[in-house]
Structure 1
Amino acid sequence: MVILHIISGGEVGGSKKHLLTLVNNINSSDIKNIVVCFIKGKLYEEAVSLGIDIRLIKQNKRFDLKIVDDIKQLCEKEKVDIINCHGGRANFIGYFLKKKYDAKYVTTIHSDYKEDYKGNFYKTLIYSNINRLALKSFDYYITVSDNFKDMLIKRGFNKEKIFVVYNGIDFNRKYQKFEKESIIKKYNLPKAEHYITMVARLHPVKNHRFFLKACSMVYKEFNDVVFILVGDGELESELKEYASKLGIKNNVTFVGFKKPDEFIFISDFTVLTSFTESFPLSILESAFYKKTVISTMVGGIPKLIEDDKNGYLIKIGDEEKLYKKMLELLKNKKKAEELGQNLYDKASKNFSIENFTDNYKKIYKSIMYGG
């Protein structure tokens, strides 16, 4: 069975990690994976370093359809059986490829396509609607949470054609113990006894203003803390200005797009305040380091986080609860550690890389052979 994964290549977040983790770990004598991307970015470079079979077929513009014939030729040469698209740009190409090459077509739904361009009216009007139309042409769908499956069903997609695979990470990898002081020095972080990290691209859908507002409320009562924002994006200058307006600019640090491990390691806990999510890898990375998470009650997150058992769930906009739970964990180290251990125990059991790849194998075989 030969599977061709198509992705734009410009991704830097969860979908990139999802795909590379899948292709690098779905080891099977009867499955061959090939990745095609359109942009020579970080995804391409990381795939090459991992020894993944990735082919760069450059697309000059988003609507450049010349690459469809190039991908068709590759499919014919490699005798591709299943084409798995990842993301709106790949779905768009998949729509046209389906008219030229006979295979099973499946797309992995990493996000709510109606929210991908939140805050940008033009892109939402054009790209989100194009993606919606392209999605209708696929034979099957893989969502990364039950919540996203329900979303597709409500929007008229056939529930019999939708599979669910939750993200997983390697909980057996070597646990790297960092030195807190060296991390502070390495990234020139403000010195404090306590750190709280949020890992999310600086995009409207991640709702950073909600997080920063709660941070300002915490700071009024507990000022020996630094809030770390890991990620880059269009809102950086706006969010810096907002932090300044709230009077916490000296206690908020924007570190840009970085591997989050070191920041999670030095943190008391992590926070995620998104309007919408699938099943973010950032909460699994927090679980790996036995750090609990305070998160909005969205997407598949409640599948892992149980309120007051291994973390805290809050409603979007409930600044009071977010502030109170952040303050509680800052003041109660034992509670934070207990919740972090509980999160690790559940995540390592249910969201391992083995579960992740095994589920994909079953789906591919079901798509190919039925049953």
Structure 2
Amino acid sequence: MKILHLISGGDDGGAKTHVITLLKELSQYEDITLVCLLDESFAKEAKEAGIHVVILKQEKRYNLQIVNQLVDHLKDGYNLLHCHGARANFLGMFIKRKYKIPMVSTIHSDYRSDFDNNIYKKMVYTPLNYMSLKRMDYFIAITEQFKGMLVKRGFKEDKIYVAYNGIAVEEKPCSLTKEAFLEQYGLTYDKNITYIGIVTRLHPVKGIPVFLKAAAKVRQRNTRIQFLIAGYGDDKHTEKYKDYVKQHGLQEAIHFLGFVKNIPSFHGAIDINVLTSHSESFPYALLEGGLHRKATITTAVGGIPEMIEHDKSGLLFEDGDYEALSHAMEKLADDEALRIALGDALFKRIENNFSDKKMARMHVDIYEDILKHHHRK
């Protein structure tokens, strides 16, 4: 099969990790081309991963001259167009008028919330993306929860497939020692301390106040715990979170590390991995922690309960319940054997269900099924 993947190329976070991880492995099975509309770090990283990348610059979102260039590419023997994100979906709608080829879009998130951080974009791009999605032939949802969401909103169930995010299990990440990693941030490693970490953007949707409130509760009863926050955000929210720490006298316990490039080393340094998001899809922050066999505590939102089974491969708590989070933190801090058991169970679950190889094979099966139905038509 010859598949063309289309993405804006300005994506970051989970979507970028998903697409690069998927296409790197998928290229072992099929003829894959990734078209990026922006020449930014996304395209550079994809090329470094060995993916065949073509850059077709679209200076402005509404410049539709790019459609003809994309159609010309598709005529070079491609069997299917796979779109990622609102801009790609929008262009797919116009490609469909000019060239008959089956189209599929991956649902990485709730499309109604994609532009919540910008009121103008939400008013304009959200309805445009919905209109584009309604003209798509097929969908790949990254969780069963997203599939159910689409069905409830009127999308045809038999056009929706599910393929979970995957991560490269066989690649052993290189990490600094705990001592060396913490030293970079002016911290001294102490084997008698339990390190609890969170990797996330410092954005309201990520529930940082929940993490901070739980940490404050824990420190009232246990001073042998340190909290590490890896991530960045706008100045307004970052200062707000740092002010909370100062007001509660937690400067010696909670450490804002800022942007951490070496995430494997971060996971190597912590004992417990936490996620407090109010909304999530199928987060790589948990898969990455699981790769290091870290015990995990996370909100039971989005597709997370499909990844982590409560009390078997991690601990789940209800969104916003910082009391429950604080108890879970203390429970794991006091029980190293339980931490090890939960971390090992999550690693096994990832290895069996959420590897890059399994994700790629699922996509090959989906493509074959789509083409089979397309040829019948």
The 1-side partners of 2:305 and 2:280 are apart by: 11
**1:162 positional shift:** 0.1
Does the alignment pair 1:244 with 2:246? yes
Equivalent residues of 1:91, 1:107 under 8 A apart: yes
1:110-155 CA distance string (max 9 Å, x none): 1111222335433322222221121111000001000000000011
1:210-252 CA distance string (max 9 Å, x none): 2222222222223343322233333434433343344434422
Q: What letter is aligned with 2:208?
A: H
1:246-294 CA distance string (max 9 Å, x none): 4434422132152421111111111111122221122111111110211
1:187-217 CA distance string (max 9 Å, x none): 4446563322212223332222222222222
TM-score, length basis structure 2: 0.91
Which of 130, 139, 142 does residue 137 from structure 2 map onto? Answer: 139
The 2-side partners of 1:175 and 1:119 are apart by: 33
The 2-side partners of 1:315 and 1:72 are apart by: 47
Which of 360, 363, 366 does residue 363 from structure 1 map onto? Answer: 366
1:50-97 CA distance string (max 9 Å, x none): 221111112222333232222222222x22221111111221222222
1:70-85 aligned within 5 A: 70-76=69-75, 78-85=76-83
Moved over 6 A (4+): none
The corresponding residue for 2:34 is: 35
The corresponding residue for 1:167 is: 165
SS of structure 2 residue aligned to 1:243: helix
Equivalent residues of 2:207, 2:320 under 8 A apart: no
In the alignment of these two chains, the number of paired residues is 369
Check 1:226–1:124 CA distance in 2 against 1; reply closer, same or farther (3 A cut).
farther
Check 1:338–1:53 CA distance in 2 against 1; reply closer, same or farther (3 A cut).
same
1:304-343 aligned within 5 A: 304-343=307-346
Q: What letter is aligned with 1:244?
A: K
Q: What letter is aligned with 2:58?
A: Q
- Deviating more after overlay: 294-303 vs 118-127: 118-127
The corresponding residue for 1:344 is: 347
TM-score, length basis structure 1: 0.93
Q: What letter is aligned with 2:218?
A: V
The corresponding residue for 2:112 is: 114
The corresponding residue for 2:303 is: 300
- Deviating more after overlay: 118-127 vs 55-64: 118-127
Gaps of 5+ in 1: none
- Deviating more after overlay: 293-302 vs 238-247: 238-247
1:40-55 aligned within 5 A: 40-55=39-54
Equivalent residues of 2:308, 2:346 under 8 A apart: yes
SS of structure 1 residue aligned to 2:97: coil
Q: CA RMSD in A?
A: 2.0
1:56-205 aligned within 5 A: 56-76=55-75, 78-174=76-172, 176=174, 178-189=176-187, 193-205=193-205
Gaps of 5+ in 2: none
Equivalent residues of 1:279, 1:300 under 8 A apart: yes
Q: Percent identity?
A: 38
